[in-house]
Structure 1
Amino acid sequence: MDLNPEDGTLAYELDRAHVFHSWSAQGALKPMVIAGGLGSTVWDFDGNRYLDFSSQLINVNIGHQHPAVTAAIRAQTEVLTTIAPAAANLARGRAAQRILERAGHGFSKVFFTNGGADANENAFRMARLYTGRDKILSTYRSYHGNTGAAVVATGDWRRMPNEYARGHAHFFGPYAYRSEFWSSSPEEESVRALHHLERVIVSEGASGIAAIVLETIPGTAGILVPPPGYLAGVRALCDRYGIILIFDEVMCGFGRAGGWFAFQALGDVEGETVVPDLITFAKGVNSGYVPVGGVIIPPYIAEAFEDTVFPGGLTYSGHPLAMASIVGALDAMADEGIVANAERIGRDVLGPGLRALAEKHDVIGEVRGIGVFWALDLVADPATREPLPQATIGALKAKLLSLGLLPIFADNRLHVVPPCVVTDAEVAQALAIYDEAFASISVLA
């Protein structure tokens, strides 16, 4: 495409004059201007190219401008661009069918939303109405969205200025590297975290708890792959106390963890697939080409609303352009082996490469991940595990950008999350950039 630097200047000026940004103090912002993208690469109006190892907000699983998805959206615009959700439309039926085929036989319906936050809102609503209970339990290390109940279910700092929803309590999930439970192994972390969770269930009143919601693999909180037995233990506790188990797969689903869903990918690793009652999704289902999310529902919950009104809905639920993008994305991912590529890249290329970097650079305290979903826990001192200072994180980010890689950080963690279509050569290029960047900041750590 033809690039005009003046367009970049105009885009920046218009943004700073008129756009109010999320999660930000507005005055100091200097947003990066992106002109275009393709696959695992984006570029600016000056022609600078960047490997996108952020996948934007860890959602562009199929890569930028995948022709099958853009073609599907284009074709739908010629047929039906919008329709009220009370009407049936072919694109929505096909999208639901594709999603259910990948979720497995235990699920029968999909409720479509506009994104991941309102997917979680509606999953909470379903659980409360189905059980007749009120309380939702979630972990402190979590992010579930920025709407009323979703942000209160969130455990991190963003919850605190937004605590307006009722009926929420939190607990600590497993994080063996920075254990709350003084554990000495992942297995011990699992056992102690489950003991803690049961104590919270009992202390909060088990008969009043509608649901436990977990990110199957917590994402923003640090890509915390659950230790052996943890998800199975949570499932057993939910069964024991009559609690609905919700897996939030908004970030970790649709290829990100090397399976169609993260709970399936983890089951392949552990040999036991733990199936939740409800699954929420968004992001990777169509790589964010059109805003969309949803709740995947089993027959026993769907049937509870056969003669009872479900009191939830959205004007754009099942929007035809979003539905077409889902069909285009999921068909292309299946036809091109994109999920299998994510699994292979993580197992054979990216995981080993990141572990080799950790052997070389003391600032990398731990490497965690699966598929194309990895985090480097960065430390100032490997012995004490003191987090790397934010000033050093800022220097590292600037160096990565100067070397042509678009990173994503959360606190002291560098998240390594390329699109599922990333190639071996692109991973090798990124690893070389990470290596150079870490070498440049080691003196500051």
Structure 2
Amino acid sequence: MDTAPLTGADLDAAVLAADHRHVLHSWSAQAHLPSFVVAGGAGCRVWDHAGTTWLDFSSQLVNTNIGHQHPAVVAAIKEQADLLTTVSPATANATRAEAAERILALAPAAFRKVFFTNGGADANENAVRMARLHTGRDKAVSAYRSYHGNTGAAVVATGDWRRVPNEYARGHVHAFGPYLYRSDFWADSPAQECERALQHLERVVVAEGAASVAAILLETIPGTAGVLVPPPGYLAGVREICDRYGIVLVLDEVMAGFGRTGSWFAFLQHDVVPDLVTFAKGVNSGYVPAGGVLVSAEIAATFDEQVFPGGLTYSGHPLAMAAIVATLDAMQSDGVVENAARIGRDVLGPGLAEIAAGCPLVGEVRGTGVFWALELVADQDSRAPLPPTVMARIKGLCLERGLLPFVAENRVHVVPPCIIGEDEAREGLGILAGVLRDVTT
């Protein structure tokens, strides 16, 4: 009897079979799961057991900002594992304190403390909780085009379809944010879209009873909803509304933070300082699950004598904290944030504009840094979204040609690791351009 271990394509097939048999996948009908195996990765590339390689233009779920298997981060996790693998969050720990200090050093001086979580969803949960306790109010206003996570309140704060089967949390209200390409405000310029979106948001706040609104929770740049870069002045205008009515401004930087937009935080590009900032993903590239809330001095002081009624067993987990410290060190020493800004400015932005100019399927290009989206349409005049069957073909062709894309609804998001170089960025753009050309013809 042959007992030789499986290798190559046979191992990929066995992994797929076991996965589909035993794992319940998120956001999926289980009878229709993808046939895709990742066995390893390095830098901006991943591969399966058979050796098929893909250029990762998805950063997995837009989180591997420092790329796959960065040696300094892997070494830091191993070193921490040898020292201390886990510790209660109530216990002071040097690695946790250092991680908090490093994160605060990148943020405006208004922020005093970090509350660590296991990911972005529970960061948003706890930020809303802090806002409610700080203000004594109940409601949270968020955007319809948003995603804030899949825990109880975070998914209800979410604005897309995933909210609807999960609406169990109380006190959540939604408003429309700016999106000039499909304006809800009949606007014909960024300035007009900004003005009308702010007017609409304030009207919602007032109609809900401003004295009942604890927080406005927004993604600085809505990510999954389409990389919707806000027009100039919008976030500053939201800050003014919050100040006018005593509302806590929470900016969700889970996807946009830590280099993704070409700055440490996306809000730094928009002349605004929020009261709370949620983060996860890029803070340690997802090597070990981690997230958190940056807390302003004023809100932190609320809990000096009042108990904060929130906590997680793995909050500030030592392995995750070591990964944060090593990631931030490597990003600073390697100029990763500056690289993301340069690649966006010099390669991705111009390259995607060139693709759009020559392809009738492209309705709009949006983005900054290494955070871009192509919105694809069946007709540029009507702006009718490209149907799912065509989007599935685009995704399939990208995979066949060695590109791992991030496809959402009628969009291809171009979100490679922040470390990507010019040659790999141009390689990915070339594959994407060829796929769109072949689908068009």
The separation in 1 between residues aligned to 2:105 and 2:281, in whole angstroms, is 18
Instruction: Give the match's secondary structure for 1:87.
Output: coil
Partner in structure 2 of residue 290 of structure 1: 288
CA contact under 8 A between 1:247 and 1:280: conserved in structure 2?
yes
Question: CA RMSD for the aligned pairs?
Answer: 0.9
Partner in structure 2 of residue 93 of structure 1: 97
Partner in structure 1 of residue 55 of structure 2: 51
The separation in 2 between residues aligned to 1:199 and 1:304, in whole angstroms, is 29
After TM superposition, the structure 1 = structure 2 runs for residues 145-164 of structure 1, keeping only pairs within 5 Å, are 145-164=149-168
The answer to whether the aligner puts 1:239 opposite 2:243 as a matched pair is yes
CA contact under 8 A between 1:206 and 1:241: conserved in structure 2?
yes
Partner in structure 2 of residue 15 of structure 1: 19
CA contact under 8 A between 2:217 and 2:249: conserved in structure 1?
yes
CA contact under 8 A between 2:180 and 2:190: conserved in structure 1?
yes
How far 1:105 moved relative to its partner? 1.0
The separation in 2 between residues aligned to 1:169 and 1:69, in whole angstroms, is 40
The separation in 2 between residues aligned to 1:12 and 1:409, in whole angstroms, is 21
| AA partner of residue 104 (structure 1) | P
Partner in structure 2 of residue 215 of structure 1: 219
Partner in structure 2 of residue 314 of structure 1: 312
How far 1:353 moved relative to its partner? 0.3
| AA partner of residue 286 (structure 1) | N
Partner in structure 2 of residue 42 of structure 1: 46
Partner in structure 2 of residue 390 of structure 1: 388
The answer to whether the aligner puts 1:355 opposite 2:353 as a matched pair is yes
The answer to whether the aligner puts 1:428 opposite 2:426 as a matched pair is yes
- Aligned counterpart in structure 1 of residue 31 of structure 2, from 17, 23, 27: 27
Instruction: Give the match's secondary structure for 1:380.
Output: strand
Instruction: Give the match's secondary structure for 2:389.
Output: helix
The answer to whether the aligner puts 1:76 opposite 2:74 as a matched pair is no
Instruction: Give the match's secondary structure for 1:431.
Output: helix
Instruction: Give the match's secondary structure for 1:334.
Output: helix
Instruction: Give the match's secondary structure for 2:12.
Output: helix
CA contact under 8 A between 1:254 and 1:285: conserved in structure 2?
yes
CA contact under 8 A between 2:57 and 2:415: conserved in structure 1?
yes
| AA partner of residue 431 (structure 2) | I
Instruction: Give the match's secondary structure for 2:69.
Output: coil
Q: Which whole-Å deviations, capped at 9, do the CAs of 1:90-135 have from their partners, x for residues lacking one? A: 1100100010001121111000000000000000000000000000
CA contact under 8 A between 1:94 and 1:327: conserved in structure 2?
yes
Structure 2 unaligned blocks of 5 or more: 1-5
Q: Which whole-Å deviations, capped at 9, do the CAs of 1:335-377 have from their partners, x for residues lacking one? A: 0000000000001111000000000101011000000000001
Instruction: Give the match's secondary structure for 2:101.
Output: helix
Q: Which whole-Å deviations, capped at 9, do the CAs of 1:375-428 have from their partners, x for residues lacking one? A: 001011011111111111111111111110000111101100000000100011
Q: Which whole-Å deviations, capped at 9, do the CAs of 1:59-87 have from their partners, x for residues lacking one? A: 11000000011011000011100000000
The separation in 1 between residues aligned to 2:98 and 2:151, in whole angstroms, is 28
Partner in structure 2 of residue 123 of structure 1: 127
CA contact under 8 A between 1:3 and 1:47: conserved in structure 2?
no
After TM superposition, the structure 1 = structure 2 runs for residues 175-324 of structure 1, keeping only pairs within 5 Å, are 175-264=179-268, 266-267=269-270, 273-324=271-322
CA contact under 8 A between 2:57 and 2:404: conserved in structure 1?
yes
| AA partner of residue 283 (structure 2) | V
Partner in structure 1 of residue 3 of structure 2: none
Partner in structure 2 of residue 340 of structure 1: 338
| AA partner of residue 227 (structure 2) | I
The answer to whether the aligner puts 1:142 opposite 2:142 as a matched pair is no
Which portions of structure 1, spanning 4 or more consecutive aligned residues, are displaced by more than 2 angstroms?
A: 2-7
Instruction: Give the match's secondary structure for 2:313.
Output: coil
How far 1:3 moved relative to its partner? 6.0
The separation in 1 between residues aligned to 2:34 and 2:122, in whole angstroms, is 29
The answer to whether the aligner puts 1:132 opposite 2:136 as a matched pair is yes
The answer to whether the aligner puts 1:439 opposite 2:432 as a matched pair is no
| AA partner of residue 254 (structure 1) | F
TM-score normalised over the length of structure 1 = 0.97
The separation in 2 between residues aligned to 1:220 and 1:5, in whole angstroms, is 32
Instruction: Give the match's secondary structure for 2:372.
Output: strand
The separation in 2 between residues aligned to 1:150 and 1:120, in whole angstroms, is 6
How far 1:16 moved relative to its partner? 1.1
The separation in 1 between residues aligned to 2:205 and 2:427, in whole angstroms, is 47
Could you tell which deviates more after superposition, 344-353 or 26-35? 26-35
- Identity between Structure 1 and Structure 2 (%): 63
How far 1:9 moved relative to its partner? 2.0
Structure 1 unaligned blocks of 5 or more: 268-272
Partner in structure 2 of residue 270 of structure 1: none
